[in-house]
């Protein structure tokens, strides 16, 4: 088999230069100070319930948020809007359970009696708004792309931003609701398939919005949000058929500090792998239609190739971190770093797949259709590792089965 290279790929152009410079100004300083103050207030409010690990997680998350807000100013607006809405919802909830839990029925009665909570601020209502806005963005993006309508594409982006706000509001509301139902139920909402599908949708959407801004092109939005839409279709089925939205206590194996960092790191990896695969589909469509041309509706092949590479590189880094964290968690929970459990085995397969992808890209110069097909295949492998193992295999991670 001959090795593909830049000269063999029809329509290939060198990757565009992207200015990575970012001046540090007064607004950046204000942003970082605001995040630091918020984290200190949070620590002061909940210090009695925080150990050294969770304290490190709190300030580490604050540092990461400050950095992301510096390199991507749009995240400041998202953070501010989410903070205002979520703090109002939490303040209202705190008036109910200031001294502890109030029970499931009392919480439901309050949500039913309040218009804002019934239709907007409860975790279920906010999540449904997220689902609706994300699903509406798919046809909006595609219509905007086909019609070459910048306005339509901007509306698509606005829908994704609004959906992300509601996803985070639902996340924080669900977190507080778990404690209001029963103090022993309280947990960060990344403990079951319903909750992590929400995390996947929001992370994937936000990561796409970053690449959308970075490459100044919105025409891939329909492709990326399509995979988000598929995950949301599963979420709706899971909620309707299994009542998965009902808050239940964590299984003992998940009641750990490690979950707070292992799961989010994993889903940054899953989200970027999904983006690379959907961009790969767009790449192949354009390639089969003749490549770059004067009537392009999609980004140039070189741009899509570069997005795939950057997405997989970022995802691989976070997936590697998540795998290491998972091994450390396993050592604490089960007494060994690795047990060849089906979930662990398939995580290794995913890691090896993308390690090979990056190796061929960086050392052999592979680009073009073969890498697009590979990224699509990688998504299939990742999907089985994420969901298929839970459905068809059993092991130490069987608590995540459908």
pLDDT computed for residue 97 by the predictor: 75
The reported pLDDT for the residue numbered 306 is 96
What span, in angstroms and rounded, lies between the C-alpha atoms of 402 and 399?
A: 9
Q: Mind giving me the DSSP string for 35-86? A: HHHHHHHHHHHHGGG--HHHHHHHHHHHHHHHHHHHH-THHHHHHHHHHHHH
Which residue ranges make up each domain of the chain? 251-402
pLDDT of residue 7: 40
Long-range CB pairs of 328-331, under 8 A, 24+ apart, other chains included: 328/258, 329/256, 329/258, 329/259, 329/262, 330/396
Report the alpha-carbon distance of residue 114 to residue 216 in Å, rounded: 41
pLDDT at residue 315, as a whole number: 96
225 in Cβ contact with 138 (< 8 Å)? yes
Instruction: State which residues of the chain have pLDDT below 70.
Output: 1-22, 98-99, 392-402
Q: How far apart are the C-alpha atoms of 212 and 215, rounded to whole Å? A: 6
Q: Do residues 83 and 42 make contact, with C-beta atoms less than 8 angstroms apart?
A: no
pTM over 0.85: yes
First to last CA, the chain: 42
d(CA 142, CA 137): 9
Q: pLDDT tens, 168-222?
A: 999 999 999 999 999 999 999 998 889 999 999 999 999 999 999 999 999 999 9
Spatial distance between the Cα atoms of 76 and 82, rounded to a whole number of angstroms: 10
Q: Which two tokens stand for residue 45?
A: 């409010």
Place of tokens 């604050």: 62
Query: Around Cβ 293, how many Cβ atoms within 10 Å?
Result: 11
**Torsion sign over Cα 173, 176, 181, 184:** positive
What is the sign of the dihedral through the CA atoms of 11, 15, 17 and 19?
A: positive
Torsion 328-257-266-215 (CA) sign: negative
């Amino acid at each position: 088999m001959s090795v593909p290279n830049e000269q063999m790929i029809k329509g290939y152009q060198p990757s565009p230069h992207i200015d990575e410079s970012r001046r540090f100004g007064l607004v950046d300083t204000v942003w970082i100070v605001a995040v630091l103050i918020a984290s200190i207030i949070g620590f002061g409010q909940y210090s009695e319930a925080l150990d050294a690990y969770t304290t490190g997680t709190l300030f580490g998350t604050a540092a990461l948020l400050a950095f992301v807000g510096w390199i991507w100013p749009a995240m400041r607006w998202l953070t501010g809007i989410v903070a205002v809405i979520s703090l109002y919802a939490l303040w209202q909830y705190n008036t109910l359970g200031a001294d502890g839990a109030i029970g499931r029925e009392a919480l439901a009665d309050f949500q039913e009696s309040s218009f804002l909570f019934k239709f907007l601020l409860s975790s279920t209502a906010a999540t449904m708004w997220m689902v609706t806005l994300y699903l509406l963005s798919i046809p909006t993006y595609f219509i905007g792309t086909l019609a070459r309508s910048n306005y339509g594409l901007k509306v698509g982006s606005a829908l994704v931003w609004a959906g992300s706000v509601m996803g985070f509001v639902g996340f924080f509301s669900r977190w507080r609701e778990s404690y209001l139902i029963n103090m022993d139920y309280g947990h960060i909402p990344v403990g079951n398939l319903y909750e992590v599908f929400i995390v996947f949708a929001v992370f994937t959407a936000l990561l796409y919005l970053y690449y959308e801004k970075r490459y100044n092109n919105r025409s891939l939005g329909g492709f990326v949000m399509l995979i988000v839409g598929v995950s949301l279709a599963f979420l709706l089925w899971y909620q309707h058929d299994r009542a998965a939205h009902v808050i239940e206590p964590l299984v003992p194996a998940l009641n750990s500090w490690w979950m707070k960092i292992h799961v989010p790191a994993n889903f940054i990896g899953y989200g970027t792998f999904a983006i690379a695969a959907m961009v790969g589909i767009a790449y192949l469509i354009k390639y089969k239609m003749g490549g770059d041309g004067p009537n392009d509706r999609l980004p140039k092949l070189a741009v899509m190739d570069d997005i795939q590479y950057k997405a997989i590189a970022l995802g691989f880094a976070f997936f590697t971190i998540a795998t290491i964290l998972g091994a450390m968690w396993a050592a604490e929970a089960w007494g060994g770093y690795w047990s060849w459990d089906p979930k662990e085995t398939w995580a290794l397969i995913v890691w090896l797949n993308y390690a090979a992808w990056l190796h061929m890209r960086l050392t052999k110069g592979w680009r073009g259709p073969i890498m697009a097909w590979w990224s699509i295949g990688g998504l299939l492998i990742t999907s089985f590792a994420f969901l298929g193992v839970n459905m068809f295999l059993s092991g130490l991670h069987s608590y995540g089965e459908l």
